């Protein structure tokens, strides 16, 4: 008969002592080997930073190019520098040169990403300038963007994406539809 009473007393003592010892623990350490943790510690937030991307793809101008504008293939090249606030949003500054018509597109604006690893979908709205040669000049433009991005490594540094963006100049000049890939590195 003493055995059940002793067992109940031990369980009651354990139930009272366990929360007290857990709250008295110190913060854990992170001085172990890479990819390991001691105690309750952890690694810092590496989701912020800067990335540099190279963009290339197809660019088709709607309507006629201005008279005397350069004739070229329906391609473009460009670059994007991004300031990451977190994994789900960033501020992009991008520039591109469209070979057909000789247009230069410069934009700045936010891009939002869905949750997911290694694949995330993106949605952005950029605004900036389009330089249309041969008399059309400088135009303010809006460039909504939709796409998908894929991290190619475990440390979330190498990034590859597929995007669509119509560059819409305000005040005329024809829309430039860009379908493009990019590859970049996040520092």
How are beta strands 119-132 and 89-98 bridged, if at all? unpaired
Under 8 Å between Cβ of 77 and 55: yes
pLDDT at 37: 55
Q: What is the pLDDT of residues 123-158, one digit of tens each?
A: 999 999 998 876 678 889 999 999 999 988 877 889
3-state secondary structure of 29: coil
Mean confidence (pLDDT) of the chain? 80
Q: What is the pLDDT of residues 35-79, one digit of tens each?
A: 555 555 555 555 688 999 999 999 988 877 666 666 778 899 999
pLDDT above 60 (res 91): yes
Confidence of residue 15 (pLDDT cuts 50, 70, 90): low
Mean pLDDT, residues 22-26 taken together: 51
Q: Domain limits of the chain?
A: 1-44, 49-186
Under 8 Å between Cβ of 143 and 126: yes
Dihedral class, residue 67 (left if φ above 0, else alpha if ψ from -120 to 50, else beta): beta
As assigned by CATH, the class of the 49-186 domain is mainly beta
CA distance 139 to 129: 6
Mean pLDDT, residues 13-28 taken together: 54
pLDDT at 16: 58
């Amino acid at each position: 008969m003493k055995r059940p009473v002793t067992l109940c007393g031990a369980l009651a003592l354990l139930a009272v002592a366990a929360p007290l010892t857990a709250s008295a623990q110190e913060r854990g350490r992170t001085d172990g080997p890479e990819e390991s943790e001691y105690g309750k510690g952890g690694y810092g937030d590496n989701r912020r930073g800067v990335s540099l991307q190279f963009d290339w793809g197809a660019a088709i101008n709607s309507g006629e190019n201005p008279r005397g504008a350069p004739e070229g293939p329906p391609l473009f090249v460009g670059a994007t520098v991004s300031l990451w606030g977190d994994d789900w949003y960033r501020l992009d500054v991008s520039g591109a040169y469209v070979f057909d018509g000789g247009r230069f597109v410069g934009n700045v604006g936010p891009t939002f990403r869905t949750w997911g690893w290694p694949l995330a979908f993106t949605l952005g709205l950029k605004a900036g300038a389009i330089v249309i040669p041969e008399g059309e000049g400088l135009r303010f433009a809006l460039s909504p963007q939709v796409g998908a991005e894929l991290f190619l490594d475990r440390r979330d540094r190498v990034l590859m994406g597929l995007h669509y963006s119509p560059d819409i100049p305000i005040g005329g000049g024809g829309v430039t539809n860009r379908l493009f890939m990019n590859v970049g590195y996040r520092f």
